[in-house]
Structure 1
Amino acid sequence: MAHDTSRKNRRIQRGPGKGGWRFRKILTQRFTIMLIPHSERSVFNFQISLVSLGTLLLAGLFLVASFLYLSSVRIGTGAMVESQAEEISQSQVDLETTIREIQKVLRVAHAFDEEMVDTLNSLGVERHDAAQTSGVTRGDLAEFSDLQVVADDRAREIQDLRNLSERLGDSLEPLREIQRVLRSREELLSDIPNLWPVGGGVGRVLREFGPNIHPITGAWYIHKGTVIAAPPGSPVVASANGRVVEMGYDPEYGLYVYLRHKYGFRTRYSHLQRVAVREGQDLLQGEEIGSVGNSGLSPEPGLDFVVKIGTDVVDPAAFLKIRSRLDRRRM
């Protein structure tokens, strides 16, 4: 029994060694490959081991895989190049569109520059360009079409934009000057009695300054103001900034208010129904003085508006026409 066990153990121990030897034998086994030509030439044959054959097969598979990979990379690169070419083409189209828009902007800027010059001349404002104050001469916007010759058209377009930017920057100060002039004009207009004295612009001219027939006596007389017919109770407003210097009642003019303004102007508002101010009160142009009525010698509701410069009575229409056309039929 012990002998059989010993023999079995020896077979188990020899087993792995014998299997490994067989595997090595298979790997080192050689094969003969014969190449037989159809001609009468001699047969070519060579021997190769299984290991060498496997190595050649692996190398062949590696070459095939590498070829397929490089082919896919090349195809992908070609697609990417084609896509980039399309993007470049689209960018070129966009650039050309941008150039056309820039040319439009330059034309508009040229027209703007001409209008700016006309506006400044009409306002009596002298234009000082940054180029003149710095001693650099660039000319006007018309020279944008004749810019200095440069080798690269793109560089010229960039220079166009730079010059346009500088030119528009030069226009800022004249625009500010225009704003100052307009503000001064508005301030001047607010101090001169030129606002329609009935609120909301309602009313119509019933009798003008100068010769008229008196509505009650029927006699010719020289009217020293403008009578505006308006619904009773309509607000009467200050025609300019001023101060209430006199108010009261007169048998002919009824309830009235006098305002004193800058530059020697005085205005009178007569035939009022009521008064909403007090003597010494400062009013802004457009603020309410009272309401339209027919107090005094007035056959119908209306406002008798009188303008004086110093002691002289002047035609109110000359001032009411400053802001808008004097419509004698407006109501």
Structure 2
Amino acid sequence: MGNPILSLRKFFKRHLTIVFIPHTVNRPIKTTFTFSFLIFIALLWTGLTIWATYLTTKHIDYWRLKLDREMIKFKLLFFANELKKSQELLAQVKEKDQQLRELLEMKTKKAIITQKNVGQGGPSPSEQLYFQKLIEKKVHELDVKDLNLQVKALQEETRKQLASLEEINSFISYQRAVYNATPNMWPCDGNITSGYGFRVHPLTGMYEFHTGLDISNVQGTKIYSTADGIVKYTGWAQGYGKLVVIDHGFGYKTCYAHLWKILVKEGQKVTRHQLIGLMGETGTTTGVHLHYEVWIDGKITNPKRFLERDHFFSRRH
């Protein structure tokens, strides 16, 4: 075998001739290159190509990264402004919440007083100042961590406000239900002929306690339920004659006695102002009238305290 180094040197010294034959010139053009020169040119071309590719890729990555940064900055600024708007809106909601509580006098209610933290609070002046500085920062100074903290604080305030509004809704629903169950109207048109309390019985002459109000009028006068409720009893009772008893809930019950006709059935739901019967003189009575009773938590009470809230309501019907 020959010397490999010598063989390699001979290979690089070999020549390659390239002949160019132009169409306009009869004489051909010859160019001769050594293999070492061609290999150098090939390596140089490859290196330049790789370098150009590297620079191009780096340039593209730079502009892509710059564009991404600009988009992130824009989104952060937009998000910060939207966050500020949300805080302003939440502040308005909290103000309306407070106005509702004052309107409903909820601060005097025991259930509200025990819930000291519900619907109260909000960002402190220092927190508001901090957020204002955050909004006033330049775009490149915006911090995702700062915004994230503000978002969490806003979410917490929103949850508190939602709980407050739910509490107000429950309070209003409860008060509406209590109001609808309170017998606060006259059961019929007429005049009071015998009040609540001790009296001389018109038939027996005995001094005894009268458990309701007697309201007199002509036979057939319309009798109305004085509150929403469920009819618990219809029928005859000793001394009361034809009778309707309505359970209104929340401890309220009303009794309508001496009726001529009963127009409702046991178990029937009735509403305030609903016609339930007609005035008569059944049972122990000296004439046509309605004997009306109000019970609270199983104890008889003076119906007149409720009648005075809506005096002679039935006259408007």
Q: TM-score, normalised by structure 2?
A: 0.46
Q: TM-score, normalised by structure 1?
A: 0.44
